[in-house]
């Protein structure tokens, strides 16, 4: 296999394209009367410093930028925990239907019954998939779903006059958003360790459970890609001390049609529509992290949610939908009603797959991860040697290849047009490489990835320099990631005063 396989070396990007007088479009003659604009609101065109470019300059600039990026539409993207599955293009077609794309959130609900009906169905489908009693579609990300869920749990206790509960339990394998959101709610985070099998250490959990605990946040399957073996016992322990159970459902891709968090006994959970339900993510685009509630937590859901305000008089007709604020709601967590365009995409995905299809999605996601784990486990140390769910964690280091780190393996993967796995997470695995292939990849792609990984394991001994100096054929080479995070330049040219 050759370094330049599949990878096109791109020209460096030239930023300064502006030339005085150049323009991309010509506007038609104005055919409405001109109106006066208040002089104090007008800016001097000399001060605005907009680039003056032709249409082809603009198109090339943005197309080049897009080619610098690795996306799921350009190559394999096994970024663990992030579920970078393929986003079917029919989702984009439905989201662009004028009836969905051109409505306004302030429109009278009577004029947007179709959109409300879609949200009503999606609320119910997510409830059905998860075994929860109800769902609010408001939160705009997984982390915001967590924030909403923890607020709901706190309010539930306060409503019962139980104000001593100020602590929340989080396993050491949890996603960073769990302790972060719980602290934002003002709770004290207690971390419990994992046992040698990668499950929650139940003795440690027992020792911190008490009447000062709001509840526990548990990721299932956890971030080692393992189904919590004693999930029911953990839930019993926490419920036993009066606490509530929150499920971080970002990894629901492994469970659809197989296990329901509501049946397991979770009180609150969130979904990541932009992971499990194939809506695009990355690059800071809009996400969606609906929150689900068991019966006793329904009154606390963020709102408004879609409800039926009038049953139809005859069975053939649709009910009348409207906005309903849950009785003891924690309130609004997002302007308007969530990221509606993302909801349309997730709705399309669920409708297109159906119940059988969603179960198949999870089965194939788990099968693909186990296939890669089985083929790599002689060459790489796998954190917990048991069947994994939709992802697994390998150690990116060897005793006989000193100096080679997970980062070097990741950078070398880029030479083959493959996005690196998640690095250095979960924190409890040394030199972690968290690999999640998803169900949308073919066996050929999985085999290619395995072969590249085996080649890299070989190079780590025979030619470690090629790993240390990777990537070799990307538009930019190894970045100084600390400088990139701490010393950001977010403007360009005259606007920066430069
Ligand atoms: C992605 C993820 C989150 C956070 O979701 P965002 O939408 O990125 O805020 C939380 N927990 C787990 C396990 C995740 O994988």
What distance in angstroms lies between residue 253's CA and the mean position of ligand 1's atoms? 13
Would you state the pLDDT for residue 11? 56
Name the token pair of 82: 């992030």
Judged by DSSP in three states, 467 sits in helix
Count of all residues that appear for the chain in the document: 498
CA distance between the termini of the chain: 45
The residues, ordered by sequence, that sit 6+ positions from 12 with a Cβ below 8 Å of its Cβ are: 475
Q: What is the DSSP letter of 200?
A: B
Q: Report whether residue 289 contacts ligand 1, using a CB cutoff of 6 Å.
A: yes
Q: Report whether residue 279 contacts ligand 1, using a CB cutoff of 6 Å.
A: no
Would you state the pLDDT for residue 114? 96
Closest residue (by CA) to atom 4 of ligand 1? 142
Block residue for tokens 């010393």: 487
> Mind listing the pLDDT tens digit for each residue in 118-141?
999 999 999 999 999 999 999 999
Q: Report whether residue 135 contacts ligand 1, using a CB cutoff of 6 Å.
A: no
Alpha-carbon distances of 418 from 39, 349, 409, 433, rounded to whole Å: 54, 26, 11, 14
| Dihedrals phi, psi of 91, to nearest 5 degrees | -60, -40
Alpha-carbon distances of 282 from 10, 82, 274, 287, 289, rounded to whole Å: 22, 9, 9, 9, 14
- Nearest-angstrom CA–CA distance, 240 and 233: 10
Whose CA is closest to 376, among 409, 399, 419? 409
- SS3 for 249-311 is ECCHHHCCCCCCHHHHCCCEEEECHHHHCCCCCCCCCCCCCCEEECHHHHHHCCCCEEEEEEC
Would you state the pLDDT for residue 231? 97
Indicate the top mutation candidate among 85, 272, 291 to test ligand 1's pocket, ranked by most ligand atoms within 8 A of CB: 272
Indicate the top mutation candidate among 146, 177, 342, 434 to test ligand 1's pocket, ranked by most ligand atoms within 8 A of CB: 177
Q: How many helices (H) and strands (E) does the chain have?
A: 16, 13
Would you state the pLDDT for residue 2? 44
Domains (ranges, CATH) in the chain? 3-66 (no CATH), 89-351 (3.40.640.10), 364-484 (3.90.1150.10)
Would you state the pLDDT for residue 284? 65
Q: What is the DSSP letter of 327?
A: T
Q: Report whether residue 141 contacts ligand 1, using a CB cutoff of 6 Å.
A: yes
Q: Report whether residue 272 contacts ligand 1, using a CB cutoff of 6 Å.
A: yes
The residues, ordered by sequence, that sit 6+ positions from 466 with a Cβ below 8 Å of its Cβ are: 412, 459
**Which atom of ligand 1 is least distant from the CA of 177?**
10
Q: Report whether residue 253 contacts ligand 1, using a CB cutoff of 6 Å.
A: no
The pTM of this model reads 0.91
Count other Cβ atoms within 10 Å, centred on residue 335: 9
What distance in angstroms lies between residue 102's CA and the mean position of ligand 1's atoms? 30
Would you state the pLDDT for residue 1? 42
To the nearest 5 percent, what fractions of the chain are helix, strand and coil?
A: 40, 10, 50
Judged by DSSP in three states, 213 sits in strand
Q: Report whether residue 225 contacts ligand 1, using a CB cutoff of 6 Å.
A: no
Count other Cβ atoms within 10 Å, centred on residue 473: 17
Closest residue (by CA) to atom 2 of ligand 1? 250
* Complete DSSP assignment for 379-405: TSEESS-S--SS-EEEE---TTSTT--
What distance in angstroms lies between residue 143's CA and the mean position of ligand 1's atoms? 6
Would you state the pLDDT for residue 131? 98
**Which atom of ligand 1 is least distant from the CA of 272?**
7
Integer Rg of the chain from CA: 25
Burial bucket for residue 15 (CB in 10 Å: 0-12, 13-18, 19+):
exposed
Q: Report whether residue 390 contacts ligand 1, using a CB cutoff of 6 Å.
A: no
Do residues 226 and 384 touch, judged by C-beta distance below 8 A?
Answer: yes
Q: Which residues of the chain have pLDDT under 70?
A: 1-14, 284, 384, 492-498
Would you state the pLDDT for residue 314? 87
Closest residue (by CA) to atom 3 of ligand 1? 142
| Dihedrals phi, psi of 283, to nearest 5 degrees | 70, 15
């Amino acid at each position: 296999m050759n370094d330049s396989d599949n990878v096109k070396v791109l020209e460096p990007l030239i930023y300064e394209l502006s030339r005085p007088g150049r323009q991309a479009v010509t506007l038609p003659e104005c055919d409405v009367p001109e109106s006066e604009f208040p002089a104090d609101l007008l800016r001097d065109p000399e001060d605005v410093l907009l680039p003056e470019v032709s249409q082809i300059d603009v198109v090339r600039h943005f197309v080049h930028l897009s080619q610098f990026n690795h996306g799921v539409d350009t190559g394999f993207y096994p970024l663990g925990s992030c579920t970078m599955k393929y986003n079917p293009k029919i989702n984009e077609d439905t989201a662009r239907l004028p009836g969905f794309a051109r409505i306004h959130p302030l429109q009278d609900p009577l004029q947007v019954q179709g959109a409300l009906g879609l949200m009503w169905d999606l609320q119910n489908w997510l409830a059905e998939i998860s075994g929860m009693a109800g769902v609010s579609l408001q939160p705009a990300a997984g982390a915001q779903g967590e924030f909403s869920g923890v607020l709901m749990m706190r309010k539930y206790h306060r409503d019962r006059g139980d104000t001593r509960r100020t602590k929340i339990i989080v396993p050491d394998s949890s996603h960073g958003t769990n302790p972060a959101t719980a602290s934002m709610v003002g709770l004290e985070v207690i971390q419990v360790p994992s046992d040698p099998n990668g499950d929650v250490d139940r003795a440690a959990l027992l020792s911190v459970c008490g009447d000062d605990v709001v509840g526990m946040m548990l990721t299932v399957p956890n971030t080692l890609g393992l189904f919590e073996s004693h999930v029911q016992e953990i839930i019993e322990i926490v419920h036993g001390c009066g606490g509530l159970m929150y499920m971080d459902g970002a990894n629901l891709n492994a469970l659809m049609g197989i296990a329901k968090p509501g049946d397991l006994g979770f009180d609150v959970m969130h979904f990541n529509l932009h992971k499990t339900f194939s809506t695009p993510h990355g690059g800071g685009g809009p996400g969606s992290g609906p929150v689900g509630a068991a019966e006793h937590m329904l009154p606390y859901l963020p709102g408004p949610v879609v409800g039926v305000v009038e049953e139809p008089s005859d069975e053939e007709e649709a009910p009348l939908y409207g906005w309903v604020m849950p009785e003891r709601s924690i309130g609004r967590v997002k302007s308007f009603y969530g990221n509606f365009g993302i909801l349309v995409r997730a709705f399309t995905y669920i409708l297109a797959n159906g119940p059988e299809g969603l179960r198949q999605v999870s089965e194939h996601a788990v099968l693909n991860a186990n296939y890669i784990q089985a083929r790599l486990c002689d060459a790489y140390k796998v954190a917990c040697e048991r069947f994994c769910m939709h992802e697994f964690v390998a150690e990116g280091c060897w005793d006989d290849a000193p100096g080679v780190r997970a980062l070097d393996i990741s950078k070398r993967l880029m030479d083959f047009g493959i996005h690196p796995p998640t690095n250095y997470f979960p924190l409890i695995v040394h030199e972690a490489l968290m690999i999640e292939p998803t169900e949308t990849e073919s066996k050929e792609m999985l085999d290619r990835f395995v072969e590249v990984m085996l080649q890299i394991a070989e190079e780590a001994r025979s030619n470690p320099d090629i790993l240390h100096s990777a990537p070799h054929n990307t538009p930019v080479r190894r970045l100084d990631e600390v400088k990139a995070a701490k010393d950001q330049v977010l403007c360009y040219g005259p606007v920066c005063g430069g």
